Amino acid sequence: MDALLNRLIVRTQLYSQREELYLTLRESHQIDQHRREDIPYTSEQKIAEKTARNAIQQNNNEELEGMIEELRTEAASKVMSESTLENITRHARRHGANFMIYFNKLRPYIDPETLLEQLQERFQGNNNDKLRLTNYANAVIFWALADNHPFKILIREAFEENQRYTPQEIYDKLNPIFRNQHLGDLQNPSTAVKYLFITQRGNSNQGAYYRIT
């Protein structure tokens, strides 16, 4: 089964998504130049890819459900064993291992049951995009701060809940706060967006916007 899934991942991600092969090879090889050419898909190829994606998604969801059930049982004991968590992570495939990275990172800040429920919502199906997960992790850590923490005070003064902000507005507000807290400079608006917790992304006549929560 693992070998089949690896073949499906290679077929549906590595070779079918733009730039994915180049980015993967670049991690371990020096590439002087590359050229991308779009090759049209036949209807049969599109159907095969959809079937493969559905199979990967179903397998990921099944693995996730099993892991969450095991983690819930462990959490019910009130003391989560590090060896058990390491064992779950060690036997997980890529999707499950990524889930465990976020679970282990965030469990000091939020109760396990709530964390499992919220992570499951974000990892199941096609919801597990990296920006959404990063925003969620930042939100969990932020709200775990004491109300009188300087960083929390500055953020709440700069951003109003349920208000829309463009990436540039987020950058202009957030960069001075990072400097004030000696966290360094943010590179650009895209980087700034990753550091805030966002519940909605959309577009208006003025372009992309983000709603802060």
Q: What is the pLDDT along the chain (213 residues), one digit of tens a residue?
A: 444 445 444 444 544 555 555 555 565 666 666 566 666 767 877 787 778 777 877 888 888 888 899 899 888 877 788 888 888 888 888 888 899 999 999 999 999 999 999 998 888 766 557 777 888 888 888 888 898 998 889 988 888 877 888 888 888 998 898 888 888 888 888 888 877 766 556 665 556 667 666
Q: Cα–Cα distance between 141 and 138 in angstroms, integer?
A: 5
